[in-house]
Amino acid sequence: MSETLLNEIRATKPEAPSALRERVRALSVQEHAREPFLDRLRFTWGWRRLALAVPATVVVAFAAAGVIGLSRDGARDQVSAVGGGDTAVTSSTFEQAQAEDSAAPKAASPALPSRATGIVPPATGQLQRYEAELRLQVDDVEALSTATKRAQQIARSHDGSIASLQYDAPSEGVGTAQITLRVPTARVQSAMAQLSQLGTIVGQRYGIDDLQAQADSLQSQIEATQRQIAQLVSRLQSTTLSDAERAVLQSRLSNARTKLTGLREELRGTNAEARTATIYLTMTTEEIQAVPVGGGRLDGVKDVLAWEAIALLYALVVVGPFLIVGVIVWLMLRLRRRHVETRLLEQN
């Protein structure tokens, strides 16, 4: 292209006619006078402002999660401090706890505070009914589970048994385990000593009833009944008895024998009762806080963030297809507009 032609084009640049110039000068004054109120207030969003808005939104989301999450933790702390609220029904049963820990019996954890029991040993050589109640506190649900299993092992190791067991480990509140153990009275002191090491002793009570007098009385009655039976048998051997007298003696003999059987049963029961002591063991946890899975103070923040992410994901899933369709339509319209423009510029 020759420079001459280019210079000619530049040199002959069309100039706006004065009428147009006056029109444009008048425009600004007229437009200023009738500028709509809303136009003056209009806030336009540029891409740069949008680019700032995105990180700002993320910061706000994190801040909100922090405030909500931490304040929720604080509220939970307050609730547990006053000890209010109903305890929820346990979600973990004793059987589950047992299944969780099938480890071999082990000694009481040294972390569990204990002190020697001031238990009075049963008197040897004398029949007594021995009952003891022991109340312990353990640290948490896990310790409660372990202590419950350990109590069963202690009963078995002392040739005893578990008469009843109730275990409750709620998600909030106080966990409890109530166990009734029966162990030989001769070994009750050892059993109590071991049981008391399962937690901190918060209370204990024991009671001894003398069964010796009862046993002695039964023994006297047995011996008296035996003598009565011997006399009846002796009289029945006499040949001078009439039939009526013989029938009466037979009846008395039968009653005496029945009575003897009952007395012997009762004496055996008394002896058995004296041989076995009953221990009522109650273990409780400290106030259980409803700690979410995973624990930790920042979990509240993570929870809120997770919910925010879920909400965002949900919004994306719902709005996403519309956005994609919108973008496709916008691109197609833009392409079509370009095509039309090109055609118009070619034709004119």
Contact residues toward other proteins (CB under 8 A) are: 1-2, 5-6, 8-17, 19-21, 23-25, 27-29, 31-32, 35, 39-40, 42, 44, 46, 48, 338, 340-342, 344-348
Please, which residue, 40 or 115, has the CB nearer to other proteins?
40
Please, which residue, 18 or 164, has the CB nearer to other proteins?
18
Please, which residue, 27 or 123, has the CB nearer to other proteins?
27
Structure tokens at 244: 């009526």
Please, which residue, 28 or 91, has the CB nearer to other proteins?
28
Q: By CB neighbour count within 10 A (0-12 exposed, 13-18 middle, 19+ buried), where does 79 fall?
A: middle
b/e burial code for range 319-344 (CB count within 10 A of at least 16 → b): eeeeeeeeeeeeeeeeeeeeeeeeee
Measured distance CA(244)–CA(266) in Å, rounded = 33
Measured distance CA(260)–CA(242) in Å, rounded = 27
Q: At what angle do helices 47-82 and 299-347 cross, to 10 degrees?
A: 160
| Least distance from other proteins to the Cβ atom of residue 328, Å | 20
| Least distance from other proteins to the Cβ atom of residue 330, Å | 15
Please, which residue, 14 or 125, has the CB nearer to other proteins?
14
Question: Of 203, 196, 200, 199, which is closest to residue 181 (Cα–Cα)?
Answer: 196
| Least distance from other proteins to the Cβ atom of residue 89, Å | 58
| Least distance from other proteins to the Cβ atom of residue 63, Å | 22
Please, which residue, 18 or 242, has the CB nearer to other proteins?
18
| Least distance from other proteins to the Cβ atom of residue 326, Å | 21
Please, which residue, 307 or 330, has the CB nearer to other proteins?
330
What is the SS3 assignment for 91? coil
Q: Where would I find the H helices in the chain?
A: 3-11, 18-33, 37-41, 47-82, 94-100, 141-157, 188-195, 212-236, 243-275, 299-347
| Least distance from other proteins to the Cβ atom of residue 13, Å | 5
Please, which residue, 47 or 322, has the CB nearer to other proteins?
47
Q: Residue 162 contacts by C-beta under 8 Å, 6 or more apart in sequence? A: 152, 155, 179, 180, 181, 182
| Least distance from other proteins to the Cβ atom of residue 30, Å | 9
Helix (H) or strand (E) holding 108: none
| Least distance from other proteins to the Cβ atom of residue 34, Å | 11
Please, which residue, 21 or 297, has the CB nearer to other proteins?
21
| Least distance from other proteins to the Cβ atom of residue 72, Å | 36
Cα within 13 Å of Cα(271), Cβ side: 10
Neighbours of 133 (CB within 10 A): 15
